[in-house]
Structure formats: C-alpha cells, structure tokens
Amino acid sequence: MTTDANAPWLIAGLGNPGPEYAANRHNVGFMVADLLAERVGGRFKRAGKAQAQVVEGRIGPPGPANRRVILAKPMSYMNLSGGPVNALKDFYKVPVANIVAIHDELDIDYGVLRLKLGGGDNGHNGLKSMTKAFGSDYHRVRFGIGRPPGRMQVADFVLKDFSSAERKELDYFVDRAADAVECLVIEGLERAQSTYNS
C-alpha cells in the first residue's frame, strides 16, 4: 500500500484519561505517546473540537525521510477511541494507512512487540472502535502485556498497574516501542517488523 510521502502520520497511543488509570497496563499506549512527545520536544494540549490531546512535530533525519507527525491521546475512554482519532484524521487529512495505533496486547508476552498493518481487533475495544470509525487498514504497534494470572478477569487485569517486577523493565520496553514507531514511520513496516518483531 503506497501512501503520499508528504502526508502526515497520526500516531494514536490508546489508553484511558485520568490519573487513576495512568499506570495501568491498558495505558501503555499513552506511555509510549508521552515518550514520543518528549522526543519531538512537544507537550500534549487539547485539540480543538476533537476529544483528544495532541502534539505536532517531526521525526526522522533532515531531508526526504523527515516526517510530519501528529501524536494523539484520545480522551474519550478506550472503548470510544475511534471518534477522536477519526476527527483528527479528517482535520489533518491523514490517509488511513498513515495512522498508527499503539496498544496493549494480551496474546503476546510482556514487553514483546509486534507491528502489523490491518487485521482484526482481537477483542481490543480501542481497536474495535477505530475499525468501526474508518476501517481496519491502519498500522498497529502491539505491546505485549501477557495473559491474566489464574482466574483473574481480563478487564481487571488490564485496568491494574504493572507489577513491581514488570515495572523494572517497563521504561526499557516503552523506549523500544517508541523506537519501533519511529522506524515504522521513517523506514516503513517491513524494516520495522524485521528489527522489532521479537
């Protein structure tokens, strides 16, 4: 799928707004988006009428590989992420193939990354909402959080903070996920997959 090289990229970190959710497993998309914002030297601020916070910036070396990016954190709660992301897509005129969702993934071991284009939502309500809003042909950076232990319900597990053991490596994994997003945008999906799909 070819995209306009000059079209901006919309990178949406998925999560739930509010301090009580900030360190939850479900909010790892927000964590990666925060780090990317730091890297481009921006601070999240409310985006006009869209129910989201955004940072506009550029990533990549000077020259043809430099990309304009809009980093976004939907402020609608996870299961309604599609509305804010769709509003930003329309406002910034972003092709669907230039949208990246960064999200937690239960079916992958903790800290493992998988990048892909399109596909199903695998029961993830944020992706379900985005796919309903504008189709499934967007990129995903899937951040493994593993499965809940014992009989813990999935909903309880994703809304819990990372364990103290997990937190020891969390910064490293978030850093690596941010690297993967940058590689995807600058060098394309195949290069990013071969480098980061561990």
* Residue 178 structure tokens: 């941010």
Host H or E run for residue 187: helix 164-187
* Residue 122 structure tokens: 């695998």
Q: How far apart are CA 36 and CA 155, in angstroms?
A: 27
Q: Is 139 a catalytic residue?
A: no
Q: How far apart are CA 99 and CA 140, in angstroms?
A: 8
Of 26, 103, 124, 139, the active-site residue reads 26
Q: How far apart are CA 138 and CA 174, in angstroms?
A: 21
Do you know the residue count of the chain?
A: 198
HSE-CB at 51 with a 13 A cutoff on CA atoms is 12
* Residue 113 structure tokens: 């990354």
Q: Which residues are catalytic?
A: 26
